[in-house]
Structures are given as C-alpha cells and as structure tokens.
Amino acid sequence: MATRRTTRNTTAATAMGLGAVAGFSVWRVAMAWQRSVDRALRPLGLTHTQVLVLSALDTAIRRADEAVSQAAVAAEAGLDKVTVSTLLRALEKRGFVYRDVGFGDKRVWRVHHTAKGERALASAVPLVEKASSVLPRRGR
C-alpha cells in the first residue's frame, strides 16, 4: 500500500511569509522608480542617488543657514557616511559642490553647494517629479 504524500505549497512566497512578500513588492516598486528616475536624469548626467545627496545637502544647508558636515548630509539623505563621501567627491569633481576642512577638526569636511549644483538640482526636481508621476499608485 502506497502512502499518500501531502503536497505542500513550497513557493518562495509561502516559505518567506507575507511580511517578506510585502517587502519584496515594495522593493520592486522602488527599483522601478529608481530606473525611471535615472532615465529621466540621464540628460543632466546625474543619478537618482546624486540628486538625493544634492537635495539633502540643500535641505541641511537651509536648516543650518551655513555649510554643513558630510555626516549631516548623510543623516539628511538616510545614507551611510562612506556612500555620501564617495558621492560628494564625485559631485565635487564635476563642480556641483565644494568641500573644505572646517568645524575645527581637519577630519571633518564642510560641504557647500555651488551655483552649478543649485542649478542642477533645480533642473532635476521637475524631471524626478515627472518620472515619479508615471508609476502606478495604490489606494486611490
């Protein structure tokens, strides 16, 4: 007599649970948004992460009413300090930001945006908004 095996649904979704499935769904939408924004920013030669850092820098400077530390930019952007340092170095090479030693500590960089950086951010904002508006919205 053959025993009957119970077939279990062992798909990844079932194995991970609903929380993980929801997380992956959010991640997929976020990745689609990132690709859309990167395409929109391509004419400016910027990525979504570079614009995020320029925007975070602008917000932090407006709040402090002066140049800010790279750590303040990282906190505002929600990114780690190493990533922000790398992005700011690249933005500095392109003339979007200016960094100098400050705050009484040679290990701390003060960051300013340049007029070119302000113009780039101003040009990027409507492109990001337009790219974001084409994504499907839930709950409306």
Write the pLDDT tens digit of every residue in 73-117: 999 999 999 999 999 999 999 999 999 887 677 778 899 999 999
CATH fold label, 21-133: Arc Repressor Mutant, subunit A (1.10.10)
SS3 category, 29? helix
Cβ pair 101, 109 in contact under 8 A: yes
Token digits for 115?
Answer: 């007029």
Task: Locate the domains of the chain by residue range.
Answer: 21-133
Give the model confidence (pLDDT) of 15-70 as tens digits: 677 777 788 888 888 888 899 999 999 999 999 999 999 999 999 999 999 999 99
Question: Rounded distance, CA 59 to CA 65, Å?
Answer: 10
pTM, two decimal places: 0.78
